[in-house]
Chains A and B, each alone.
Chain A
């Protein structure tokens, strides 16, 4: 295993939603790389563009969203081969053959448990039919059949083999009595079990990369722990890359090697996980870290909370979009000048005027 082999490069990605009230810049110039066998974490509050970034990678932006700039480069390699082809995913036909092979097969996806998700943004909209079945369980079909079908779409196995793989994967994600559960319908499973089935489906195709969008957010810590373990095991055994999206800082600390922090569609900081936690540079990152209660000895103090709330996307603040909430706000600067994306040291990047000479 060589270190830092590029797998997916996201370059200056922009996604806009043209809705009645105006244009939402859901993703506003995001750039990062994902390496084979490593986990990149993406954190930020809801609405900051994490999910849309993930969907844009696979050309699955829901309507009326559009990728307006940037590109996604996929360094594709056939199993066992050393030859790499660079594919510009953003140039592919979203309904074409190639993207369908990649989506769900080579790059797997797990989204937040739909039935318990509290942000029903995506109920309508996705124009890619099969993509829906990739991350949603169909209500009236047996779980095992749905799993087997996805497995056979992406792996050369027989019907019987695909069923065996399905049972084995259900067992690995901790579903009790998998030989029986494989024949149950989604509504007969609990929310946590349905989510584990989705994870089993994604992993059973042996993807080179997994996009996990809040995969454990609706689950109990006990089940979350099992699922994080399975993901790490797959990563070790198959050198799978993971793009792990969450707003849970505990989960990200445990999973990610590198973290991108997003705010209002922009990346505001990117660094190794240790640097993000021990040496955060952006005031937003610092504030996020301070706002979570820590388990252990009780401090009895109030939580440091970020003032105010996320701004109206149709009425973005001038200058730095974080300035109205920023504890380090510099009047006359932060409200006038937009910060640029700057490399501080090594792989630590930040977008904040505190680190620019202006």
Chain B
């Protein structure tokens, strides 16, 4: 597959042909009878200080992609190039393939790539105080200095809008939005350059969601953070992202600048997803494209283009041949046989 990376400026993360297959085991001998191709040949890049949104229906592999990048899951194939400072040392930067690193090296990388999770209730250890939760990554990575770290933690707490006296409290004493802030403070405690945010605001109320999105944007600006922002709410993703990638059954089917993608989608799946988003305007007359059926099963995907059984434009070739992921317009990538001919509707 052609690498969509045509611009090499400021690339922080460059993912090439990433695959993660989960074996399906059966019976007493746990024989492998097949694979869930959760992430199947995915190629994208993230520039320094930018946000790449990752959208798609549940089960399409967003979480798996995020976790495979930082090797919480071992990749089945592909490369993950990351511009590391810690691996280079001496203020230098070095592009290294994370897929080839050993445990010790990977531990170093985990200081530079952090994660924020969806569920602010279950992702924090209930028996630890907020202070200990935020300090834990520093302790694990041998970065905890009794004299300085307390001040860093208090600073982080204030940065995410909590009070210093919250340090000694426990997660259950906080609301969902506050717990998500604790998770954010923890993720930032080691000064990462890239944060993988997996549905960070999906469980929050609208007003708290707005506060959290604003906070993430402020932090991004102040610390020059890059985000991979996974979510299924397309309006949230458009708001926060510079560029957006759309996933369907383990593959990225379209990737472009956020506004470009929303206004001028090139993939029928993107078009259908957009049309399904309810608009907060009672005078808007919706003209929805109803996608028939469910997301394809990643252990037994359809032939050709995985989307063809639900696609209203599908023709013969779509069920026979997998489309290539190509750059149809500058910086606008799509995997669809018909992309250049279709006139699709944006938002």
Residues on A lying within 8 angstroms of B by beta carbon are: 45-46, 118, 174, 176, 190-193, 220-226, 228-229, 247-251, 253-254, 256, 273-274, 277-278, 287-289, 291-298, 302-306, 309-310
Can you report 11 residue pairs joining A to B where beta carbons are below 8 Å apart? A118-B119, A174-B293, A221-B276, A250-B277, A250-B279, A253-B284, A292-B235, A292-B280, A293-B239, A295-B274, A306-B207
Closest to B257 in A: A298
Contact between chains at B214 and A251 (CB < 8 Å): no
Q: Mark interface residues in B115-128 (1 if CB within 8 Å of A CB, else 0).
A: 00001010000000
Asked if residues B291 and A289 are in contact (CB atoms below 8 Å), the reply is no
Does the CB pair B258–A45 fall under 8 Å?
Answer: no
Q: B207–A288 contact, CB under 8 A?
A: yes
- Report the bound CA distance from A226 to B293 in whole Å: 10
Output the residue of A222, A254, A278, A292 with the most chain B CB within 10 A.
A222
Partner of A294, one of B210, B235, B274: B235
Residue on B nearest A248 in the bound complex, by CB: B278
The 3 A-B pairs of least Cβ separation, nearest first, read A250-B278, A293-B239, A305-B210
Q: With A45-B205, A253-B281, A288-B207 in contact, do A222 and B238 touch (Cβ < 8 Å)?
A: no
Query: What is the CA–CA distance of A226 and B294 in the complex, to the nearest angstrom?
Result: 11
Chain B interface residue count, Cβ-Cβ cutoff 8 angstroms: 51
Select B293's contact among A176, A220, A250, beta carbons within 8 Å: A176
Q: Using CB atoms, name the residue of chain A closest to B238.
A: A295
A220: chain B residues at CB < 8 Å are: 57-58, 232
Closest to A277 in B: B282
Report yes or no: A221 in contact with B279, Cβ–Cβ below 8 A.
Answer: no
CB-based contact A297/B263 at 8 Å:
yes
Interface membership of chain B positions 92-132, coded 1 if the CB is closer than 8 angstroms to chain A and 0 otherwise: 00000000000000000000000000010100000000000
Complex interface: chain A residues within 8 A of B178 (CB): 309
List A contacts of B282 (CB < 8 A).
253-254, 256, 273-274, 277-278
Provide the B132-173 mask, 1 if CB < 8 A to any CB of A, else 0.
000000000000000000000000000000000000000000
**Of all chain B residues, which has the CB nearest A229?**
B290
Residues of chain B from 202 to 224 with CB closer than 8 A to chain A in the complex: 203, 205-211, 213-214, 217
A222 & B272 in contact (Cβ 8 Å cutoff): yes
Given A273-B282, A306-B210: A46 and B290 within 8 A (CB)?
no
Roughly how many angstroms separate A191 CA and B295 CA in the complex, as a whole number?
13
- Residue B340 CB within 8 A of the other chain: no
Binary contact track B225-265/A, C-beta < 8 Å → 1, others 0: 00000001011101110000000000000000011001100
Cα separation A309 to B206 with both chains bound (whole Å): 11
B232 to chain A: closest residue by CB? A220
Q: Are B280 and A277 in contact (CB under 8 A)?
A: yes
Give bound CA distance, A316 to B175, whole Å.
16
> Which residues in B have some Cβ–Cβ distance to A below 8 Å?
57-59, 119, 121, 175-178, 203, 205-211, 213-214, 217, 232, 234-236, 238-240, 258-259, 262-263, 272-274, 276-284, 286, 288, 290-294, 347
Closest B residue, CB atoms, query A257: B282
Separation in Å of the B243 CB from the closest CB of chain A? 12
For the complex, give the distance between the alpha carbons of A248 and B274 in Å: 16
Contact check, B276 vs A45: say whether CB atoms are below 8 A apart. Answer: no
Question: Is the CB–CB distance between A309 and B208 below 8 Å?
Answer: yes
Known: A176-B293, A190-B59, A293-B213. Is A225-B175 also a contact (CB below 8 A)? no
The answer on a CB contact under 8 Å between B206 and A292 is yes
Asked if residues B294 and A176 are in contact (CB atoms below 8 Å), the reply is yes
Residues of B near A224 (CB, < 8 A) are 276, 278
Q: Which residue of B lies closest to A191 (CB)?
A: B58
With a cutoff of 8 Å between Cβ atoms, the chain B residues found around residue A221 in the complex are 232, 234, 273, 276-278
Q: Is the CB of A45 within 8 A of B207?
A: yes
- Chain A residues positioned under 8 Å from B280 (CB to CB): 249-250, 253, 277, 289, 292, 294
Q: A174-B293, A174-B294, A176-B293 are in contact. List 11 more A-B contacts (CB 8 A).
A: A118-B176, A190-B58, A220-B232, A247-B206, A253-B280, A254-B286, A298-B239, A298-B258, A302-B214, A302-B217, A306-B207
Q: A46-B205, A296-B347 are in contact. Are A303 and B278 (CB under 8 A)?
A: no
- Please pick, from B203, B235, B276, B294, the residue contacting A293 in the complex, using a CB distance under 8 A: B235
Q: Which of B177, B209, B240, B258 contacts A309 (CB 8 A)?
A: B177
Q: Are A225 and B288 in contact (CB under 8 A)?
A: yes
- The answer to whether A303 and B232 have CB atoms under 8 Å apart is no
Inter-chain contacts of A193 with B (CB < 8 A): 294
Nearest CB on B from A15, distance (A):
21
Distance from A117 Cβ to chain B, minimum over Cβ atoms (Å): 10
CB neighbours (8 Å) of A192 from chain B are: 58, 294
Q: How far is the CA of A291 from the CA of B274 in the complex (A)?
A: 20
In whole angstroms, how far apart are the Cα atoms of A252 and B175 in the complex?
A: 25
Given contacts A45-B205, A176-B294, A310-B175, contact A228 B211 (CB under 8 A): no
Q: How far is the CA of A302 from the CA of B239 in the complex (A)?
A: 9
Shortest Cβ distance from B60 into A: residue: A220
Is A298 a contact of B119 with CB atoms below 8 Å? Answer: no
The CA of A253 and the CA of B278, in the complex, are separated in Å by: 8
**Measured between alpha carbons, how far is A192 from B58 in the docked complex, in Å?**
9
